[in-house]
Structure 1
Amino acid sequence: MSAGLTYVVTGGCGFLGSQIVDLLVQRGKNISEIRVVDTKLRGHSKSPENSGVKVKLVCGDVTNMAQMTEVCAGADVVIHTASLIDVFGLVSDVTLWDVNVKGTETLLQCCLNEDVTGFVYTSSRGAVGPNRRGDPMEDGDESTPYDSSNQVIFYNRTKAAAESAVLRWNGRRTNGGKILYTCALRPAGLYGDGEWALYKMWRDFGVDPFAGPLTRLSHPKVKGQISYVGNVAWAHLLAAQTLVTSPGNAGGEAFFITDDTPIGSDVTLCSEICAPIGICWNDTLVLPLWVLYLLAYLLAFLRFLLKPFYNFVPPITPALLTLLNTNFYFNCKKARRLLGYKPLFTWEESKQKTREGLMEWKTREFSQGRG
């Protein structure tokens, strides 16, 4: 029997990456080693002794060519989830581009240099839009026309540029004469039973989510889309396996990834999920939407005035309001057809698992008192 495959998962200690690694160990086929790469190594489940899969933690930065060359040496498949996510302007555009775009290109070059033949990129629905006009996309697919030329936030521009690079590199010949096959997955917003970074964001803005209903910035009738992190992780595993066994099905392709989480207001769904730990949102907008936009533009102007002296980060921006108030959702028929994707977890299972994880998180987070 030939040796199993070696996988690399960048961002492998993150919210999505850790789920991908766990599923690779539990359900992966013909895998001997998984290299979990992250800038911060933390709290990752170990491979069961009887799984036969070696899980190796590697501290590495995707922008570092030397580190990524070492990581990719002898590997067969790279699943690239590492990315900087920023919708508020906390991170400079230069840094976002360096990590999200140049880091992806660095990793692709390392794959060619080291004869890696499969590359799965975690893109985003943000690679498509919304655009600054707030043009809607309703039950769209990968071929639905949409003007993505004027992205509402710079983060989305970086995801679009990185995805484009990944798909362009499909079919290139490696140094050893093999072929690199690439694909990109576009999940919507994620929820699930993992590290809850949302609380840290609230804390940074001085908001106590347990003090009462949180401010709603999106209209209750807006239709958006979120997906359970376990289902998105499962799609990554299937995409990787398809690149190995049937590269013609996935190579050079982008796939929207969704599940049966109801289409609707993201805030309403989050309120339903978070209810057991006492976090909820108001049922209606805190102010009329036009007033919120006016306030957001005033805060943006204030930020511009203060920029030479202080990095003022407003809690709301025009871009954020557009993101939250644009109908934007897709179907995953293409992933079902070409990847054999079917969600592992139903909406009810996803909701229950997330609630249990949040209750464990709250108990652990506040076991010595909140603050």
Structure 2
Amino acid sequence: MPAGLTYVVTGGCGFVGSHIVDLLVQRGRNISEIRVVDTQPRTYGKSPEKTGVKVKLIRGDVTNMAQMTEVCAGADVVIHTAALIDVYGFVSDVTLWDVNVKGTETLLQCCVNEDVTCFVYTSSREAVGPKQRGDPVEDGDESTPYDSSSPVLFYSRTKAAAESAVLRWNGRRTNGGKTLHTCALRPSGIYGDGEMATFKIWREIGLNPFAGPHRLISHPKVKCSCAYVGNVAWAHLLAAQTLLTSPSNAGGEAFFIADDTPVGNEMATYSNIFAPVGIRWDDSLVLPLWVLYFIAYILAFLRFLLKPFYNFVPRLTPAVLTLVNTTFCVNYKKAARLLGYKPLFTWEESKRKTREALMEWKAREFSSGHTK
């Protein structure tokens, strides 16, 4: 019996990456080994031995050429989810660029060197927009005209640059004479079971998300597309399978990934999901939007003044306000057509899974009456 495929998943212990690994174990085709690469690998909790798939945890840094060369040796598919996500400014621009862009280029070079033929990149909606002027997108797709030259976040700039590199490398000949096929997926508003970034921030600054209701900093009429993390992970499996079997369908292409989560204000969507757990948002702004911007610019100026002495990082910034107050809604018709993508989990299933996980998180984080 011929050996199965070897997959590499960078950031494989993260929010999206861990769900990709789970689905590869449960639903992947002809897979013999999954190399889960992360800077902080954690014990894999499922039972892959029952499926005949070997899951190998590897501590690795995508910016390290020697490490990534070893990781990619003998692999067939690389799914690259590892990235630094920073919307506030905790991480320097240099570090963001090194990890998100140069790290991606390092992996692409390793694929060429080691004859890896398929590369799926986890991009982001932010690779496209919104921009500083806050121009909206309604039911957009990959061909919707949009000036992306002035992104609101430097993080967005790194995702755009990395995505561009991934798509440029499609069709490169590998050292062994094979062809590298690449594509990029652009999810947005990802929620689901697992430790979401929103709740990490609450924990880090010592706030109790269950002490609401919370007031909005985005206008209630602003809409965005959200997607359940399991559906985002499923899209990655389909993209990899398409690159393996029908590379002309996906090679060199970028795909927006959404699902059947109702389109609306992001916090209203979260309220719908989280209300039974005890997390709620009011449907009104905490302050008029112009006042929020005024405060944000004052805080930005204060950060500038303190920068030589102290890394003051306010949670309210002009960029964040523009990001959450710009309507940006996309569809997944292209992914459906070329990848055969349709959501694996319904809206009701997505809500249920997220609520159950949040109940467990609530019991763990707040059982003693305060955050850890």
TM over 0.5: yes
Matched, 1:121 2:124: no
Deviations 1:96-135 (A, max 9, x none): 0000000000000000000000000000000000000001
Equivalent residue, structure 2, for 1:32: 32
How far off its partner does 1:208 sit? 2.4
Alignment of structure 1 residues 314-325 onto 2, 5 Å: 314-325=314-325
Equivalent residue, structure 1, for 2:166: 166
How far off its partner does 1:362 sit? 1.3
Deviations 1:194-243 (A, max 9, x none): 12442221133343222222231001111111100000000000000000
How far off its partner does 1:41 sit? 1.0
How far off its partner does 1:360 sit? 1.4
SS of 2:283 mapped into structure 1? coil
Equivalent residue, structure 1, for 2:102: 102
Equivalent residue, structure 1, for 2:249: 249
SS of 2:342 mapped into structure 1? coil
Equivalent residue, structure 2, for 1:41: 41
* Cα separation, 1, equivalents of 2:2 and 2:337: 30
Which AA in structure 2 matches 1:182?
T
Which AA in structure 2 matches 1:22?
D
Alignment of structure 1 residues 167-186 onto 2, 5 Å: 167-186=167-186
Equivalent residue, structure 1, for 2:12: 12
Matched, 1:303 2:322: no
Contact 2:140–2:331 under 8 Å retained in 1:
yes
Matched, 1:261 2:256: no
Which AA in structure 1 matches 2:7?
Y
* Cα separation, 1, equivalents of 2:326 and 2:365: 34
Equivalent residue, structure 2, for 1:209: 209
Which AA in structure 2 matches 1:343?
P
How far off its partner does 1:45 sit? 2.6
CA RMSD of aligned residues (A): 1.1
Deviations 1:33-66 (A, max 9, x none): 0000000012433343220110000000000001
* Cα separation, 1, equivalents of 2:37 and 2:211: 38
* Cα separation, 2, equivalents of 1:314 and 1:368: 28
Contact 2:48–2:54 under 8 Å retained in 1:
no
Contact 1:47–1:55 under 8 Å retained in 2:
no
Change in 2 beyond 3 A, CA 1:111/1:47: farther
* Cα separation, 2, equivalents of 1:349 and 1:266: 18
Equivalent residue, structure 2, for 1:332: 332
How far off its partner does 1:278 sit? 1.4
* Cα separation, 2, equivalents of 1:330 and 1:11: 25
Find runs of 4+ consecutive structure 1 residues off by over 6 angstroms.
Answer: none
Contact 2:306–2:312 under 8 Å retained in 1:
yes
Which AA in structure 2 matches 1:215?
R
SS of 1:9 mapped into structure 2? strand
* Cα separation, 1, equivalents of 2:45 and 2:78: 20
- Aligned-pair identity in percent equals 78
Which AA in structure 2 matches 1:278?
G
Identify the range of structure 1 (359-368 vs 157-166) with the bigger mean alpha-carbon deviation.
359-368
* Cα separation, 1, equivalents of 2:3 and 2:46: 21
Contact 2:225–2:263 under 8 Å retained in 1:
yes
SS of 1:138 mapped into structure 2? strand
Alignment of structure 1 residues 356-367 onto 2, 5 Å: 356-367=356-367
Alignment of structure 1 residues 124-139 onto 2, 5 Å: 124-139=124-139
Contact 2:124–2:159 under 8 Å retained in 1:
yes
* Cα separation, 2, equivalents of 1:292 and 1:365: 30
* Cα separation, 2, equivalents of 1:42 and 1:216: 35
* Cα separation, 1, equivalents of 2:345 and 2:188: 16
